[in-house]
Copies of this chain bind each other. A is one copy, B any other.
């Protein structure tokens, strides 16, 4: 099912400020070809919530080939616990091998993370999105003052929608803060990434994630050698036209 601009505007108005369950229900009833994107971190709450709505939810995750061992273990725990269909997307070797041969295994520290994220995350994401009319992410406004503060509950995907393919993106956790997410994880005994107990509020690839000090913002644990405004991997960034 595709959604036109009028329907989207109406849905946006209807879901503005709604709680995550309401947004998830709306998403799952509006679209058949829809999937949850799972990062292996605290967005596990989305899966827990969705499985209380219906079974056989489609979920995909991006195995970049550089995840923490703890993240692989969480992916498997989730796969075994919930009645979901989990696709684990894997990068294409041609691009990875060429980049590594030319620049080594840690080029992101010198050149920025964009090329590596494109090969290990964005390209596999594009494959995962093929055939979908909508997807569901765990993004929240409180995750980044720079890039996520205006995040709507539902939107035309600013990165991957095209005139021919009006991909819709749902962000059910947009209005939640970290405390609400963790309250849910504790209350419903949701499995979580062990790294969260070792000072990691935000989790991505192993070389590009670190633990933070008390009171440091979660985003300080990601791509810390780069300036704040770049801290998105390309999955959720608006394509600027300039």
Give chain A's interface residues, CB within 8 Å of chain B: 42, 63, 65-66, 68-69, 72, 75-76, 79-80, 86-93, 96-97, 100-101, 104-106, 124, 178-179, 182-183, 185-186, 192, 196-201, 206-207, 211-216, 218
In whole angstroms, how far apart are the Cα atoms of A214 and B185 in the complex?
A: 11
Number of this chain's copies in the complex: 4
Contact A76 B199 (CB under 8 A): no
Contacts of A97 in B (CB 8 A): 87-90
Shortest Cβ distance from residue A4 to the other chain B in the assembled complex, whole angstroms: 33
Partner of A90, one of B65, B80, B197, B212: B65
Residues of B within 8 A of A201 (CB): 214
B residues near A104, Cβ cutoff 8 Å: 76, 79-80
For the complex, give the distance between the alpha carbons of A7 and B96 in Å. 39
- Give the shortest distance, in Å, between A192 (CB) and chain B (any CB): 7
Q: Is the CB of A124 within 8 A of B93?
A: yes
Q: How far is the CB of A92 from chain B (nearest CB, A)?
A: 6
Asked whether, in the complex, the Cβ of A182 is within 8 Å of the Cβ of B42, the reply is: no
A214 to chain B, nearest CB (A): 5
Query: Is the pair A198, B182 in contact by a Cβ cutoff of 8 Å?
Result: no
The answer to whether residues A214 and B93 also contact, given A65-B65, A100-B88, A199-B198 and a CB cut-off of 8 A, is no
Bound together, the chains give a CA A179 to CA B213 distance in angstroms of: 10
Q: Are A88 and B101 in contact (CB under 8 A)?
A: yes
